[in-house]
Amino acid sequence: MQSQNISDIIEKYLKSILGDSQQIEIKRSEIAELFNCVPSQINYVINTRFTIQNGYVVKSKRGGGGYIRIVKVNLLDDSDVIKDLVNIIGDGIDFNKSLQIIQSLFQEDLLTRRESNLIIASIDKRTLAFEDRQIENIVRARILISILNRLRYDD
């Protein structure tokens, strides 16, 4: 039996309490205590697994009454989220971050499996096999931004 690492377990737990609701508020110290880990481990999970590319917006308030709010967003219903995604993509994006965005669009039922696979094929490292990695990332960014804009305005 393969054991999961603590980050996977924490992610699974947070997603389970998020359930069908759009948002949750947690206290980092309470979650850390629950999993017997340091609070920075909770930060790591939130910063890497609950990103805008994955369909989440995270807000936090520091201090004694502080909290971390994780909000599940509908990627295309919120124009600010699209703007944030476009800003994250910027002038260039690597394949792994691109894949996160495509997976989120698929999970939100904004892309079919076939459409997702076609997009992934078009932005794959082997497809964009330029000698200069920076050019590859620029072309990938242009493709993704074009797709996002097309999805946003094409009903």
Mean pLDDT of 68-79: 76
Contact criterion met (CB below 8 Å) for 74 and 108: yes
Confidence of residue 127 (pLDDT cuts 50, 70, 90): very high
d(CA 25, CA 62): 13
In percent, the amount of the chain with pLDDT more than 70 equals: 90
Contact criterion met (CB below 8 Å) for 141 and 90: yes
Is 105 contained in some domain? yes
pLDDT in tens, 13-27: 999 988 878 889 998
Is 1 contained in some domain? no
> Both 38 and 97 in a single domain?
no
> Both 67 and 94 in a single domain?
no
Contact criterion met (CB below 8 Å) for 123 and 98: yes
Residue of 106, 82, 102 lying closest to 94 (CA atoms): 102
Confidence of residue 141 (pLDDT cuts 50, 70, 90): very high
Question: 3-class SS at 69?
Answer: strand
Mean pLDDT of 48-75: 81
d(CA 146, CA 57): 22
> Both 40 and 86 in a single domain?
no
Whole domain around residue 49: which residue ranges? 6-72
